[in-house]
């Protein structure tokens, strides 16, 4: 038997969406536009919440953290993809690939935990409205955010460290636009049993447990809403969690799409497109969902933009 051809790798090749050169400019401008909209939308959400004292409540505190996580989540993969398209290069270093894996898992997990925390916040607001401010104290909110960060860092660190034990063959081509950890595992020539066990175990922690918490919270919310006598009361109660429920459905729906496209015997392009929906499009839509469906947020954004325009006009008049 010939020995396996292991190599000390220094670079991977990201194959991206397509190798057709005529489609590269189109992809570049599309993803640049989506990325800029994502950055602008989430930054406006954060600035509106910080600048408006009416929004200094737990729900919007968690939303500002979600917007920050979405900015970082998208920035982990899209800038490198745009740079590769612009320079017509597919190369990413081994260190760069590990960094992408670490931060992608970190902010993906943070999104999941924050959505769970926000579901708990809505559960307390609807099921225990009289004790809401007592239960959701600033100390508890800070602890929930800190716990989400700590759990996300630990999960990401554990998965990334297990990648250091892998050995790779001469095939360094990743059929994706970023270093997707399952795709990297498939390139390994060494045994990946430990890695797969860690991946499945951590998927339960960051996927199944948070989703179970969200479903439990909304089951209690639904029961509380059904006990409300008036139809207007039911609509008002449901409207307070409608945006969050839509974001949760979008996040976990696209996550399921990524999982099914990777597990099924589909083409790599289908898997890449599913990932693009989850990693790029979902963070772009979240600000629109929260701003268009929320009267307080729309008011805060109007006041923020009005202040910015007035400040700009004052500076112009002084000049």
pLDDT of residue 46: 93
pLDDT of residue 61: 94
pLDDT of residue 264: 59
Strand order in the sheet with 11-14: 91-93, 11-14, 173-174
Pick the more confident residue, 233 or 139.
139
Q: What is the DSSP string of the chain?
A: -PPP--B---EEEE--S---GGGHHHHHHHHHHHHHHHHHHHHHHHHHHHH-GGG-SHHHHHHHHHHHHHHHHHHTTHHHHHHHHHHT--EEEHHHHHHHHHHHHHHHHHHHHHHHHHHHHHHHHHHSGGGHHHHT-HHHHHHHHHHHHHHHHHHHHHHHHHHTT--B-S--EESSSS--HHHHHHHB-S--HHHHHHHHHHHIIIIIHHHHHHHHHHHHHHHHHHH--SHHHHHHHHHHHHHHHHHHHHHHHHHHHHHHHHHTT--HHHHHHHHHIIIIIHHHHHHHHHHHS-HHHHHHHHHHHHHHHHHHHHHHHH-
Q: What is the pLDDT of residues 208-240, one digit of tens each?
A: 899 999 999 999 998 988 887 777 777 777 777
Percentage of the chain exceeding pLDDT 90: 37
pLDDT of residue 2: 41
Closest CA to 117 of 156, 83, 148: 148
Cβ-contact 77, 279 below 8 angstroms: yes
Residue 33: Cβ within 10 Å count: 11
Tokens encoding 251: 């996040």
Q: What is the pLDDT of residues 174-214, one digit of tens each?
A: 888 888 888 888 888 888 888 888 888 888 888 889 999 99
Query: What is the spatial distance between Cα 216 and Cα 206, in angstroms, rounded to a whole number?
Result: 16
Domains with residue ranges and CATH for the chain: 11-292 (1.20.1070.10)
Average pLDDT, the chain: 85
Q: What is the pTM of this model?
A: 0.89
Query: What is the spatial distance between Cα 207 and Cα 13, in angstroms, rounded to a whole number?
Result: 29
Residue 63 reports pLDDT greater than 90 = yes
Residue 38 reports pLDDT greater than 70 = yes
pLDDT of residue 50: 92
pLDDT of residue 236: 74
Query: What is the spatial distance between Cα 185 and Cα 168, in angstroms, rounded to a whole number?
Result: 9
| Measured CA distances, 37 to 1, 43, 302, 308 (Å) | 55, 10, 18, 18
For the segment 265-291, the average pLDDT, to the nearest whole number, is 80
Query: What is the spatial distance between Cα 232 and Cα 217, in angstroms, rounded to a whole number?
Result: 22
Closest CA to 111 of 135, 145, 137, 139: 145
For the segment 94-113, the average pLDDT, to the nearest whole number, is 93
Cβ-contact 278, 185 below 8 angstroms: no
Closest CA to 44 of 310, 312, 304: 304
For the segment 293-318, the average pLDDT, to the nearest whole number, is 73
Residue 4 reports pLDDT greater than 50 = no
Residue 1 reports pLDDT greater than 50 = no
Q: What is the pLDDT of residues 10-37, one digit of tens each?
A: 688 888 777 777 888 888 999 999 999 9
Q: Which of 119-128, 176-185, 201-210, 274-283 has the highest mean pLDDT?
A: 119-128
Residue 149 reports pLDDT greater than 90 = yes
């Amino acid at each position: 038997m010939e020995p396996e051809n292991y190599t000390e790798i220094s670079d991977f090749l990201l194959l991206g969406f397509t190798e057709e050169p005529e489609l590269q400019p189109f992809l570049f401008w599309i993803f640049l536009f989506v990325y800029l909209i994502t950055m602008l939308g989430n930054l406006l959400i954060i600035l509106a919440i910080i600048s408006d004292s009416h929004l200094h409540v737990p729900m919007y505190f968690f939303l500002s953290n979600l917007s920050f996580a979405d900015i970082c989540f998208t920035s982990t993969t899209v800038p490198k993809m745009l740079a590769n398209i612009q320079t017509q290069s597919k190369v990413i270093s081994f260190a760069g690939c590990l960094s992408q894996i670490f931060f992608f898992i970190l902010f993906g997990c943070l999104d999941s935990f924050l959505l769970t925390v926000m579901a708990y916040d809505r559960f307390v607001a609807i099921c225990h409205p009289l004790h809401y401010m007592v239960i959701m104290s600033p100390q508890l909110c800070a602890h929930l955010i800190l716990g989400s960060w700590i759990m996300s860092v630990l999960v990401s660190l554990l998965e990334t460290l297990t990648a250091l034990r892998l050995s790779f063959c001469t095939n360094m081509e990743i059929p994706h636009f970023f270093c997707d950890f399952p795709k990297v595992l498939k390139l390994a020539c060494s045994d990946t049993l430990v890695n797969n066990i860690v991946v499945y175990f951590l998927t339960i922690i960051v996927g199944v447990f948070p989703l179970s918490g969200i479903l439990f919270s909304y089951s209690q919310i639904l029961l509380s809403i059904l006990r409300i006598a008036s139809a207007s009361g039911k609509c008002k109660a449901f409207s307070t969690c409608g945006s969050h429920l839509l974001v949760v459905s979008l996040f976990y729906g696209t996550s399921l799409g990524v999982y099914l496209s990777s597990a099924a015997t589909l083409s790599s392009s289908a898997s890449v497109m599913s990932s693009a929906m989850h990693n790029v499009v979902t963070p772009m839509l979240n600000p629109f969902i929260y701003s268009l469906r929320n009267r307080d947020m729309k008011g805060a954004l109007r006041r923020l933009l009005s202040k910015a325009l007035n400040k700009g006009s004052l500076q112009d008049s002084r000049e």
